[in-house]
A = this chain, B = another copy of it.
Amino acid sequence: MEFIVDKDHFSRAISDVSRAVSLKTPFPILSGIKIVANNKGLILIGSNSDIFIERVIPLTMDGMQALEVYEAGSVVISAKYLSEIVKKLLDKIQFKVDEKQLVTIQSDSIITKLSGFSSGEYPSLPQIDEVNFVSISSSELIEIIKQTAFAASKSESRPVLTGVHMSFKENHLSCVATNSHRLALRELTMESNVTGSYNVPSTSLNELTKLMNSEPSVIRIFVTDNYLVFQSTNTSLFARLIEGNYPNVLGLLPTHSKTTITLKTQQLLMGIDRACLFSSEWKNNNVHLDIKDGTKIKISSTSSDIGKIEETQNIIAIEGETDLSISLDGSFLIDALKVIKEEEIRLSFGGSLRPILIEPIGNTSYLHLISPVRSY
């Protein structure tokens, strides 16, 4: 196996697939990157067994020669050392592997020798059925992930809740995540010849947003037995699905409310953020909301050890009862408000122990639900 590759392309590909590589893996082979050279280009693969990231370097990129392959072959090489070395080399890199898997990496007068592993032991990627897929722009996909993935559970006690539940129907995609105390739901109208529902780990989706963030592109989503595959021109991410039935969360959405108020999104976000200064030292990040006379909302939090903070904000519009007190986990409300781009939001309350519904004004594709906490 032998090739000469442009340093920048090689270095970027290594850094992309390294996202999948965990140094703490119980399988030594997975601490490496698999490199395959053939007459079409170079394929790099990194994996932590939950995700695979595959990156292709074709012979030419941006109209320039990026790669010359002299001898086809494959090897697995330590992701850590490869990435550190390549970053510090010069423009052109010669990469050679002998029959004992000894890798020689040369750039100008700099010669590095590293022991590689046989690529035969590396797990193989699931086969993609190239016929059925969904196309979505990377910016749209990143947006819907950012609006939902944070709401998934961090605890492994109910594994399905650590994922985002993605349901593809004809002309429609919906994404839901919940940790059973809060819920985010985002819907999207789109062409789809894939149907079915999949639980995708929120951590894998977060990796995907970082991986696909660099340039706007079209992402094709394929379904295989155990994986959802997200593919742009030269990069693919294979996300292993979480088995299990996702709870029917749509039944939780409240159908009517006692009080509905309209507030400025950013102003509320800053107010809750300030109230959370103390509440983080306090049980459940408790923040109290009090509506007074239908014109003002008081945001406050108290810690008997440290002190208290409070402020009032104007209510833009109110429907229903004009007095209300409710307590909630301020950090949940911050997470929800951060991903709402609309200037104003509507908060709907069904009573001090019923979930609070948060919706951007003028956008029906997104909603958020937060369970209140009992205040003391």
Contact = CB atoms under 8 A, between A and B. Distances in A.
Contact of A306 (B110, B114, B274, B310): B114
A307 interface: yes
A311 B85 CA distance: 13
A254 B110 CA distance: 33
A109 B308 contact: no
A79 to B, nearest CB: 13
Nearest to A105: B309
A306 B270 contact: no
Given A88-B270, A270-B88, A309 B112 contact: yes
Interface residues of A, number: 28
Contact of A109 (B81, B114, B311): B311
Contacts of A274: 85, 88-89, 110
A309 B109 contact: no
A113 B307 contact: yes
A270 B88 CA distance: 8
A311 B88 contact: no
A308 B110 CA distance: 11
A309 B108 CA distance: 13
A6 interface: no
A179 interface: no
B81 A311 contact: no
A309 B111 CA distance: 6
A234 interface: no
A180 interface: no
A280 to B, nearest CB: 10
A139 interface: no
5 contacts: A81-B278, A81-B306, A85-B274, A88-B274, A113-B307
Contacts of A88: 270, 273-274, 277
Contacts of A191: none
A325 interface: no
A135 interface: no
A310 B307 CA distance: 61
A310 B89 CA distance: 12
B273 A112 contact: no
Contacts of A111: 309-311
Nearest to A273: B88
A343 interface: no
A197 interface: no
